[in-house]
């Protein structure tokens, strides 16, 4: 009689343990899916933002080029000045790339991965 009760309790314990492990596996899968979907949505929204920013910069650069062309009287001077400004901005941006881009991206990825 005691052996049957003990055997039944052990079976129940194994059943609960198996159910618990399966629930933990499912929870882990859901957490990973949530983190991946958050990272992907952030990535794609950033890509769309960068594309729109790029198009805006193209039109802005053309506008500035034509403005300088009108002020100098020659198209080549206007666009040469504009390209020089872009070169200067590019050099400054390159020098500050770690602080401006790399560290914030690493921090946001780490924050998303370890956010509870």
Q: Model confidence over 71-107: pLDDT tens digits?
A: 999 999 999 999 999 999 999 988 988 888 888 888 8
pLDDT tens for 24-59 read 999 999 988 888 888 888 889 989 999 999 999 999
What are φ and ψ of residue 8, in 5° steps? -65, -40
Q: What is the number of domains present in the chain?
A: 1
The whole domain housing 48 covers 2-113
- In 3D space, the residue among 13, 72, 84, 66 whose CA is nearest the CA of residue 5 turns out to be 13
**Rounded Cα gap, residues 94 and 101, in angstroms:** 10
pTM for this model (two decimals): 0.61
């Amino acid at each position: 009689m005691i052996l049957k009760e003990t055997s039944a309790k052990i079976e129940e314990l194994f059943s609960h343990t198996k159910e618990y492990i399966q629930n933990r596996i499912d929870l882990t899968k859901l957490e990973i899916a949530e983190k991946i979907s958050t990272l992907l949505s952030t990535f794609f929204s950033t890509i769309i933002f960068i594309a729109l920013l790029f198009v805006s910069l193209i039109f802005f650069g053309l506008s500035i080029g034509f403005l300088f062309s009108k002020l100098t009287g020659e198209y080549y001077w206007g666009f040469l000045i504009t390209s020089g400004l872009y070169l200067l901005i590019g050099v400054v941006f390159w020098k500050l790339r770690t602080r401006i881009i790399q560290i914030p991206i690493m921090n946001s990825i780490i924050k998303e991965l370890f956010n509870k």
